[in-house]
Amino acid sequence: MQNRLEVKVSRVIALIDANNFYASCERVFDPRLVGRPVVVLSNNDGCVIARSAEAKELGIGMGEPFFKVRDLVKEQNVVVRSSNYELYGDMSSRLMDVLEQFSPDSEVYSIDEAFLELEKSAPGELRKLGAEIRDRVRRQTGLPVSVGIAETKTLAKVANHLAKRSRRAESVLNLVESSYLDLALERTPIEEVWGVGRRQSARLRSYGILTALQFRAADDDWVRRKMTVTGLRTVHELRQIRCLELGQSHAHQHSIIVSRSFGEAVWSIEELRAAISHFTTRGAEKLRKRRLAAAALSIFARTGRYKFQPSGQAGRSGQAAEPFSGSVTVDLGLATDSTLELMQAAQQAVSAIYQPGIGYRKAGIILTGLAPSDNAPLRLWDTARYEHERELMSRIDAINARHGQDTVRCGIFQSEGRWLARLDQRSNRFTTRWPEVMTLR
DNA sequence: TCTGGGGTCCTAGGACCC
DNA sequence: TCTGGGGTCCTAGGACCC
């Protein structure tokens, strides 16, 4: 038995973050892309969501709409890829497997980054450990990563940013017991501090706070008033006071969202039903995979964010209508992970939300009230049917896992439709689909 | 006309993250 | 013409309770 009151060994936090993750994944499987500008596009080929260093140098911005850079892309011979989440997800789990070798305490923070808790040691030793992490990830996955080490998560983020930016391409920076700490904070503009977004940084700038160093020196009460406890925590973290502990990712997820922008506007209720059915199927699969059940299902549907041209009778006036956005929530009564039950609720919600004469550009479902499905309350009636349904679901999942998505599917939906996203330039799913593995000649 | 005080729970919306 | 998807946390305000 461990004595729970024993003195805690002093520990530090490392943040490991892949460089240009999606673009780097593409490079692992196509080395011809090395040294060339590469961009990866969002779903529907709408926005640029990843850029290689060369593409950044051309001035292509993060989140920039693709049509705005199309000419530049052509001129500069930039490689363009549609997003391939199946490939990136698989590469992500390989990355995390390597990181786990270095510490039992880790938090997978996003698809391409993780925090590791490390035992504190001499600054030189920590730096060496960081370099070893970087090198092993490279050897075992082919991915380039940067490592930042510090006393708190927020400072580890600062360290990681600076490591990425360093011209010497060291890609490892240790700020624990570092005489460089203050200078590092001075070189970190306020908007780059983790937790300070566009809104707050504009406000802070108007008060003359331009750097992380100045923010660290701000008065506690003032920060609390202006930015609530969230802002105060960030300031404390910059002062090496740990406020944010490592979380267990997925320990208790609160919601699941499945949503897509449509390839073309959707006007009819049949097409909207088809799309929502598709999202609901994906959502139910996510639930079962994570062993969760949902107590409520919401759907939302909206027009484009930027303008909206009404059609037919609604557009007769010729005036542009306001962008429309609506949502409907259905209480499921008892938590469920059954595609059939969720589908019923979703269709009910579609009927409630649909309005003719609106060109929907995006829709989605949100599952909430999540709880482990093993703890789901027992049904008082219909127990036999419910058990039967669960059995059916697990068989369908097994078949689809083996033979591909939607080999067997529930209900009425067509898997084709104008609402499907465009993905014109997707690379092969090299690691997860047999027909797409690499062939060597 | 006058009209307490304190608590909980829920939801919508804002801000942030990658 | 063409602008992603999936999450979290916090707060304010209303409904409701005693």
User: Per residue in A343-364, pLDDT tens?
Assistant: 999 999 999 889 888 889 899 9
The answer to whether A309 and A315 have CB atoms below 8 angstroms apart is yes
- Which nucleotide minimizes the distance between its C1' and the CA of A255? C7
Q: CA-to-C1' distance for A324 and C16, Å?
A: 33
Q: CA-to-C1' distance for A231 and B6, Å?
A: 29
Report pLDDT for A312. Answer: 42
Q: CA-to-C1' distance for A223 and C14, Å?
A: 28
State both tokens at A412.
């009425």
The answer to whether A425 and A419 have CB atoms below 8 angstroms apart is no
d(C-alpha A340, C-alpha A344), whole Å: 6
Strand B positions closer than 7 A to protein CB: 11-12, 14-18
Q: CA-to-C1' distance for A356 and C15, Å?
A: 34
Which residue is nearest to the C1' sugar atom of C9, using CA?
Answer: A230
Which residue is nearest to the C1' sugar atom of C8, using CA?
Answer: A254
| DSSP string for residues in A295-330 | EEEEEEEE--SS-----TTTTTT-PPPPP-EEEEEE
Report pLDDT for A310. Answer: 46
Residues with CB under 7 A from strand C: A 42-44, 46-47, 49, 63, 65, 67, 228-230, 247, 253-261, 286, 304-307, 361-362, 364, 421
Enumerate residue ranges in chain A where pLDDT < 70. Answer: 1-9, 168-169, 248-251, 305-322, 375-378, 411-418, 421
Q: Report the predicted TM-score, pTM, of the whole model to 2 decimal places.
A: 0.89
Q: CA-to-C1' distance for A99 and C17, Å?
A: 51
Q: Are strands A325-336 and A292-302 parallel, antiparallel or unpaired?
A: antiparallel
Q: CA-to-C1' distance for A221 and C16, Å?
A: 34
The strand pairing partners of A14, in sequence order, are A116, A149
**Coil, helix or strand at residue A359:** coil
